[in-house]
Every structure is written in C-alpha cells, then in structure tokens.
Amino acid sequence: MVPMAPASLLAFAGLSAVLALTPGPDTFLVLRHSLANARTGYAAALGCILGTVLWSALVGLGVAALLQQSAEIYHWLKVAGGLYLFYLGASTFLKGRRTAGAAPGTGAPDRKAAASGLRGPFAAGTLSSSLNPKVGLFFLALMPQFIPAGSNTLLSALGLGAIFGAIGMAYFVVLVTVASKAMAWLKRPAVNEWLERVSSGILAALGLGVVASAFAESR
C-alpha cells in the first residue's frame, strides 16, 4: 500500500476537525442522550462514528458515487434521514411526557435493561449518520484528493475514515463530558425535563427541515 504524505494527512485532519466542530444532527443527537447520562451519550457517539466509517467504506468501494449519479436515490435517502430525525425527536418528547409523572422504581438496576438502554442510543447514532447523504458526499468529494495514486482505494478510504472518526470521537467525548457534568450539577427534574424537550424539539425540527429541503430540491 502506498503511504500517504504527512502533509496530506495533516490537511485531511484539519478539514475533519472543521466538519466535526460544525453542529449538525449528530451533535444534537449525542447531546440529547448525554442529558440522561454519560454512558448513553458515549453509546450514541460511537454509533455516529460507526456511521461515518461505513460511509468511508462505501466511498472506497465506489458505492457512494451513486448519490452523485442518481438524484432520485439522493432525494429519498435524504427524506428517510429527515423522517428518522423527526421520529427520534417526537418519540422522545412523547415518552418524556408519559414518564414525567411516573413514580421512580425502587428495585436494583437490571443489567439486561442497562445493556438494552445502550443499544438504543448506539443504533440511533448509527442510523442518523448512515442516513445522512451529505456525509457520503463529503467523503466522496474529499477523499479522492487524499488517496495516493496506485494505493488500495478501500484501505486508504478506511484509513482516512478512521482519522475522521478519531477526531469526531474526541469532539464527542468533550461534548458528552460537559453535558453530563452539567446535568449532574443541574439535577433538578424541571431543568432536566426542559432540556429534554428542547433537544427533542431541535431534532424534530431538523428532520422536518431536511424533508422540506429534499422536496424543494426535487422541484
């Protein structure tokens, strides 16, 4: 495999940091789960990173090029991603309304329930990132410029995806830590409920915005 030049790696890392620091659906998704506790926030963050790595693999295989060649595929993938974001926001808001007045349980925590509680945020993060065609188009437009000529395209794309994922995870670690610490300090039910509703509303609004823009672009 032809090695990548250090200057190219630094340039790619810099661009990845800029993208990671730009707020988007993944940021609000991780933030929302971090309001519950750090573990669910980290699970959602890992799911988002897995989604970006999957996109990098698809780019390496050339599958993501279909998004540029087919406006129809891009349109419906964008609609699916927007609807999923809306579902996440709306379902969480309704769930919070139903459980707001419920009495807290007194039994010992169930390990299976805890594991299941981590699978949900992880799956949500993976789907949110995987259904975001803009991530795929970003990699498709960016990666070919940094893949050395004559190298294995798939392995090079995965290597760049790993760099992007590491930078994104570092950002998410800071985000989760700050959010979970803030909630530990402001552990009042009224504040927690308010933040939960705001973050859920933002996700739902982002989803509706994505769907609306998808249909506006198709006209």
Q: What is the pLDDT of residues 83-136, one digit of tens each?
A: 766 766 676 566 655 555 444 444 434 444 455 578 989 998 998 888 776 677
Mean pLDDT of 156-180: 90
Given pLDDT bands bounded at 50, 70 and 90, which one contains residue 168?
Answer: very high
Structure tokens at 83: 């609807």
Query: Per the domain annotation, does 106 fall within a domain?
Result: no
Predicted confidence (pLDDT) per residue in 141-164, tens digit? 777 777 776 677 788 888 888 999
173 found inside a domain: yes
Domains in the chain, number: 1
Position 130 scores a pLDDT of 83
**pLDDT at res. 63:** 64
Q: What span, in angstroms and rounded, lies between the C-alpha atoms of 168 and 182?
A: 21
Paired tokens of 219: 């006209």
Task: Look at residue 190 and tell me if it is in a domain.
Answer: yes
Residue numbers of the domain that contains 59: 24-97+115-217
Of 172, 136, 176, 148, which Cα lies nearest the Cα of 54? 136
Most confident stretch, 21-30, 60-69, 179-188:
21-30
Any domain includes 189: yes
Residue predicted with more confidence, 52 or 210: 52
What is the DSSP secondary structure assignment for residue 92, as one 8-state letter?
H
Longest dimension (CA), the chain: 63
pLDDT of residue 189: 63
pTM over 0.85? The answer is: no
Which of 23-32, 60-69, 82-91, 108-117 has the lowest average pLDDT? 108-117
Q: What integer pLDDT is reported at residue 104 of this predicted model?
A: 43
pLDDT score, position 128: 83
78, pLDDT greater than 70 = no
**Mean of pLDDT values over 5-18:** 84
**Confidence bin at 37 (pLDDT 50/70/90):** confident
In the chain the first and final C-alpha atoms are separated, in Å, by: 45
In a domain? residue 15: no
6 within domain boundaries: no
Among 60-69, 121-130, 195-204, whose mean pLDDT is lowest? 60-69
Please, which residues have CB within 8 angstroms of residue 58's CB and are 6 or more apart in sequence? Answer: 64, 136
Q: Determine, yes or no, domain membership for 72.
A: yes
Return mean pLDDT, the chain: 75
Q: Is the pLDDT of residue 47 over 80?
A: yes
Residue 176, in any domain of the structure: yes
